Structure 1
Amino acid sequence: MTEKRLLQAVVTLACLVPLSVGGWSILHGPGFLGHPPVIPRDLDSHFRYISGIFFGVGIAFATCIPGIEHKGPRFRLLGALVVCGGLSRVGSLLAVGAPGGGHLFGFAMELGTVPLLMLWQWRFAQRFPSSPAPASTVGR
């Protein structure tokens, strides 16, 4: 398997996390975490909103898989968003303590796996010349 195919396969597997967890969370709210329904409706709404963003990030990462060697700026932006979320978990960890196992897995993905994938994609992309931007058709 070539390095490109391996990178694409690993990114595909990593995309399954936000797509599956985000999708399930949109549909079922925080109940999927084993909690009873959230009484304050605003918290349920916010949980599902954040889950929708998480799901969208998974879709956006998936768009980087074809031609991954040329998707560096998008890949890094998405990765930076995920790392920001992981750093936010550090705040929660310090304020209220360690979360459950699923969230610790997310923490590891956000501050471990994603930065490593960003580095791998960047190093891999360095071997390919940038493709020229297409000419704009705006105003024609």
Structure 2
Amino acid sequence: MRADSEKRLLQITVAAACLVPLLAGGAGILRSAEILPGVAAPLPIDLDSHFRYLSGLLFGIGIAFAFAIPRIERNGALVRALGLIVVAGGLARLVSLIQHGPPGSGHIFGLVMELGVVPAIMLWQARVARRFGR
């Protein structure tokens, strides 16, 4: 595959993947923990505040990944930093899975993104950067 074609495919993949934190984070900002099955208002104020804060962080991660897309071959430091944050969150989610059992399917999807897709994107970005001499 040509370097330009691989770069374009990586850009498309990152664009699709960053929809997850943008949509999940946006929903959490707007609806708080009520986006989760079985959670209904009224929520404790501190839980609502914390959930919306973490949703804002998730949304910000999506924005930052989107920012990296146009010059993905040059944005390795940003992709690695964001990836580290996402993997750290995935490891925290894994602790919950080990201690309490598997969560719902949406959270399993998140775990796959955090500990599978994002590390793969980080490695792929490094490969593309090397191909472009970065």
Could you say which TM-score interval applies, normalised by the shorter chain?
over 0.9
- Write the letter of the residue equivalent to 1:32: I
- Give the one of 39, 43, 50 matched to 2:47: 43
Report the RMSD for the aligned CA atoms in angstroms: 1.2
Higher helix proportion: 2
Query: What CA deviation, in whole Å up to 9, does each residue of 1:10-37 have, x standing for no partner?
Result: 0000010000110011000111113112
Aligned equivalent of 1:24 = 27
Unaligned runs of 5+ in 1: 131-140
Task: Please say if 1:15 is aligned against 2:42.
Answer: no
- The structure 1 segments of at least 4 consecutive aligned residues displaced by more than 3 Å after TM superposition are none
Aligned equivalent of 1:73 = 77
Quote how far apart the aligned CAs of 1:38 are: 5.2
Aligned equivalent of 2:6 = 3
Any idea what SS the aligned residue of 1:63 has? helix
Work out which of the two has the higher radius of gyration on C-alpha atoms and give 1 or 2: 1
Quote how far apart the aligned CAs of 1:39 are: 3.0
Query: What CA deviation, in whole Å up to 9, does each residue of 1:95-119 have, x standing for no partner?
Result: 2211100000000000000000100
Are 1:38 and 1:44, in contact at CA under 8 Å, matched by a contact in 2? Answer: no
TM, length-normalised to structure 1? 0.89
How much identity, in percent, do the aligned residues show? 56
Count how many residue pairs are aligned between Structure 1 and Structure 2. Answer: 130
Query: What CA deviation, in whole Å up to 9, does each residue of 1:118-139 have, x standing for no partner?
Result: 0000011012234xxxxxxxxx
Unaligned runs of 5+ in 2: none
Any idea what SS the aligned residue of 2:131 has? coil
Any idea what SS the aligned residue of 2:58 has? helix
Higher relative contact order (CA 8 A, sep 6+): 2
Are 1:30 and 1:38, in contact at CA under 8 Å, matched by a contact in 2? Answer: no
Task: Please say if 1:93 is aligned against 2:63.
Answer: no
